[in-house]
Amino acid sequence: MDFMKKVAALVLLCCFNWICLVLSEKVSGNQVINIAHRPSTWAPLMHLSANLSDITSITSHFEFRTYDPEGIIFYGDTKDGQDWFVLSLRDGIPEVQIGKANILISVMGGPKINDGAWHKLELRSEGKYVIVEVNNKVELVVGMHSDQTEDVLLGVIRLALGGMLVDQNRLLHPFKPEMDACIREGHWLNLSTLWETNWELSPCISEIKKGIYFPGTGLALFNTSDLPGMETEEKGVTIEVNGSWHGTLLSLKSHGFKYMLPGTEGLEANKDLTMELKKGSGSSNTALPLKPTKLTFTILKHSLMINNKPVLENENMDFFSMWKEGMILAFGGAPEENQESKSLHHLHGCLEEILIQGKEINLDLAFLKHRSISSHSCPAKPMNELN
Ligand SMILES: *[C@@H]1O[C@H](CO)[C@@H](O)[C@H](O)[C@H]1NC(C)=O
Ligand SMILES: *[C@@H]1O[C@H](CO)[C@@H](O)[C@H](O)[C@H]1NC(C)=O
Ligand SMILES: *[C@@H]1O[C@H](CO)[C@@H](O)[C@H](O)[C@H]1NC(C)=O
Ligand SMILES: *[C@@H]1O[C@H](CO)[C@@H](O)[C@H](O)[C@H]1NC(C)=O
């Protein structure tokens, strides 16, 4: 694990189902930090505290890279959270929210920065103003004044990355916090203080492309009643996926019913599809579609189809009402598979996109998602060149 300067000994307490808990560890704030794969939605990945009296410059700057349109980046507060501020992205655009005395502020502006390139962000406080620069250009200036506040020069300032230290219900403009992004070259209030983290940090992949990456260790679950539904009986519900992967792409489960899309080994039995996958992979003796492949899964009233070929037909089933009432749709394996085991069936690969009824599905909206999955970025190099 040479990607991380481990300052304190890393004590692994336990690895239960979804998360690895590490006894408080100190890490440097100017290394490359992956703020995706957080253990829980609002808890920060890492945080630090400093005495305001030690601070010479209320300026923080860092480089930031993401394809994710929405999520939390950076949080700071004083007076034990009475005064706080949050930097996030919404629709790819920086947004600042501030809570001070009984004022709540939310401002967004500047360019879309979720293009997968590194961008420099700077935040600073100048008297009654908070200023955000993107790529050395001032993009947001937020001024505020209240008779009820005094400028605090004493006490503790706290910073957090990838989460908040106060209740998210205090936000004026709520957002989805999950953020698949990396930060590097961080300079935080001109302090060399180390950050504290309770979690094992994930490395950042040096070159990324847009997509959904499953490293083969877990899945994402949706309730189909939350997803777009059937429009006409003839067309049914379609799930279109393109990408490069092996293992189980998806499965469906409801009371007394289970269906798992054949894993690549199982696809051997389905000649037409295997032919197609082989064509895609450019190899005659492996069914692993490591080259881009497109698959359409169609749910009709009494049948399931892959690329217009029926794979299951049952007159006693009504898949439309099952979809509407709510089945579990799992991407990356079957829901009952042990989450931590590196199952053969677990999907490994990059899905460029998942469309359900033509609408792009954001994996951050899954009701359960393994933290190893990257919802918006994949390694840019083909998988077989990794490791
Ligand atoms: C802040 O200063 C106090 C007293 O000078 C000290 O006890 C405390 O450890 C300092 N806290 C931090 C976070 O540096
Ligand atoms: C940052 O800290 C260094 C030394 O720790 C100091 O020389 C420099 O002036 C500080 N910068 C600002 C903007 O306060
Ligand atoms: C997969 O979908 C993306 C997004 O629509 C598209 O840009 C890309 O060309 C598609 N790839 C294939 C192989 O169809
Ligand atoms: C899916 O959502 C529906 C409606 O909220 C609920 O009744 C159903 O129990 C859910 N299904 C599962 C498998 O969680």
Say if domain 210-380 classifies as CATH 1.10.287.
no
Residue 286, ligand 4, Cβ within 6 A: no
- Give residue 156 CA to ligand 1 midpoint distance, Å: 8
Instruction: Write out the chain's pLDDT in tens, 387 residues.
Output: 433 333 333 333 334 434 555 567 888 888 999 999 876 789 999 999 999 988 888 899 999 999 999 999 999 999 999 999 999 999 999 999 999 988 999 999 999 999 999 999 999 998 889 999 999 999 999 998 877 766 667 899 999 999 999 999 999 999 999 999 999 999 999 888 899 998 888 889 999 999 999 988 889 999 999 999 988 988 999 999 999 988 889 999 998 899 988 765 444 334 344 333 333 333 333 344 567 889 999 999 999 999 999 999 999 999 999 999 999 999 998 887 655 555 557 888 999 999 999 999 999 999 999 888 999 999 987 655 444
* Residue 328, ligand 4, Cβ within 6 A: yes
3-class secondary-structure state, position 28 = coil
What residue owns the CA closest to ligand 4's atom 6? 326
Please, are residues 317 and 257 in contact by the beta-carbon 8 Å criterion?
Answer: yes
Q: Using most ligand atoms within 8 A of CB, pick from 221, 224, 225, 368 the residue to mutate for ligand 4.
A: 225
Q: Which of 30, 52, 57, 61 to mutate to test the pocket of ligand 2 (most atoms within 8 A of CB)?
A: 57
Domain boundaries in the chain? 21-199, 210-380
CB of 210 sitting under 6 A from ligand 3: no
Ligand 2 binding residues, C-beta < 6 A:
56-57, 190
357 CA distance to ligand 3 middle (Å): 16
Fold identical between 21-199 and 210-380?
Answer: yes
Ligand 1: centre distance to CA 8 (Å): 20
Instruction: Say which DSSP state 49 is in.
Output: E
Long-range Cβ contact pairs of 170-173 (< 8 A, separation 24 or more): 170/84, 170/99, 170/104, 171/86, 171/97, 171/104, 171/106, 172/97, 172/99, 172/104, 172/105, 172/106, 173/90, 173/95, 173/97, 173/106
Burial of 233 (0-12, 13-18, 19+ CB in 10 A): exposed
Distance of alpha carbon 84 from alpha carbon 191, whole angstroms: 19
Residue nearest to atom 2 of ligand 4 (CA): 326
pTM above 0.85, yes or no: no
State both tokens at 58: 């209320």
The CATH number of 21-199, from 1.10.10.350, 3.30.70.20, 2.60.120.200, 2.40.50.110, is 2.60.120.200
CB distance 45 to 201 below 8 Å: yes
Any ligand 3 atom below 6 A from CB of 81: no
57 CA from centroid of ligand 2 (Å) = 7
